[in-house]
Structure 1
Amino acid sequence: MTVSKTVEKSAEVTKSRKDAGDNPAEALHLGELSEQLGYVLKRAQLKVFENFLRCVASLQLTPAQFSVLLLVEQNPGRNQTEIASTLGILRPNFVAMLDNLESRDLCARIRSTNDRRSHILVLTDKGKAVLTRAKKLVATKHEARLNEVLGAANREALIAMLSKIANEF
């Protein structure tokens, strides 16, 4: 079959679907893709991130920025390399993220007294306030929605399973 005949055949199928009132996007079958754990995890991650962004839209924080602020709060005196490594963020991406957070006066880099090549991360007063509001929004909206969808037992089981993959895979 030539390309033009293939295009004609595709157009006929599309037209017949429209004539039948079907949405062509609904007609797609994922086949074995729907059984692939990586694909399903990625789709779930996208939905979770979309919800997170909606819940904290007023604060203009990404999930990664929220994670950085949380780690800085929970680990005072730690340097930016340790924070980036823990979160699995590449150095160039982390530096750009810190630049953004610093320009918004949410955190600051302070030269380490132990190693002048290293920078300690600290939250500013504004950063502490934004993080407090973000934690409340995440708990009351984002995590609450996940708990609603999963239920407490499934949530705990999912965290355990995903942690096992993250730690052992």
Structure 2
Amino acid sequence: MKAPESPISVIPEPVPAVDEVDTSYLETLMGYNATRASLKVIELFTKRMAVYELRHVDFSILSLITHNPGITSRQLCGVLGILPPNLVGKISIMEKRELVSRRPHPQDGRAVGLYLTETGAKLMADAERTATALEDDVTQKLSATEKKTLMRLLQKIYL
């Protein structure tokens, strides 16, 4: 039997270090740009809403209740794309915090409307002022016309 040959040692070519990351292809993709912008806004939003103990979805739910007193859970789920079991837990926590209350729906005896409590209304007045200030901060490099255009274009994608 013949002895196995010894492996030939190959010295690998040195791998060049990346000094500057090339993101040019990614920057041509709508999803990449939308995600990067969204992550930046959510990061700042999370920091500023911590004082109110609100996450972005909680803020959205409470804002919809603020501007649509009597909105139903079904309507909230439809508008926000939340699964009903996930919303139930969130509403329960908001009730425990005394931010929202449930009342019979005026037209549909089977449905329940959601309303802000006095505590919830005070919290949302402050939280919405904070959100407006945040929007001004993150869009400060845009003109008023550019802000309107950007908003309209983004809505064209998801509406």
- Please tell me the TM-score bracket, short chain as reference: 0.7 to 0.9
Separation of aligned partners in 2, 1:95 and 1:132: 24
Match of 1:137 among 130, 136, 141: 130
Given that 2:103 and 2:114 are in contact with CA atoms closer than 8 Å, whether structure 1 keeps it comes out as yes
1:46 counterpart letter in structure 2: L
Deviation readout 1:74-113 (Å, 9 max, x if unpaired):
1122211112211222212222221222222111223436
Deviation readout 1:43-96 (Å, 9 max, x if unpaired):
211111111112222111112211111111111222111122112222122222
CA drift of 1:126 comes to: 0.8
- Indicate the RMSD between aligned Cα atoms, in angstroms: 2.4
CA drift of 1:32 comes to: 2.4
Counting helix residues as a fraction of each chain, which structure ranks higher? 1
* Greater alpha carbon shift after TM alignment, 74-83 vs 30-39: 30-39
Deviation readout 1:119-152 (Å, 9 max, x if unpaired):
2101111101100110121222x01202313231
TM-score (normalizing by structure 1): 0.76
TM-score (normalizing by structure 2): 0.80
Aligned 1:43-62 pairs, distance under 5 A:
43-62=36-55
Instruction: Give the count of matched residue pairs.
Output: 149
2:146 counterpart letter in structure 1: N
Q: Identity of counterpart residues, as a percentage?
A: 30
Equivalence for 1:166: 158
* Structure index of larger Rg: 2
Equivalence for 1:93: 86
Any stretches of 5+ residues in structure 1 without a counterpart? 1-7, 18-23
Separation of aligned partners in 1, 2:104 and 2:128: 28
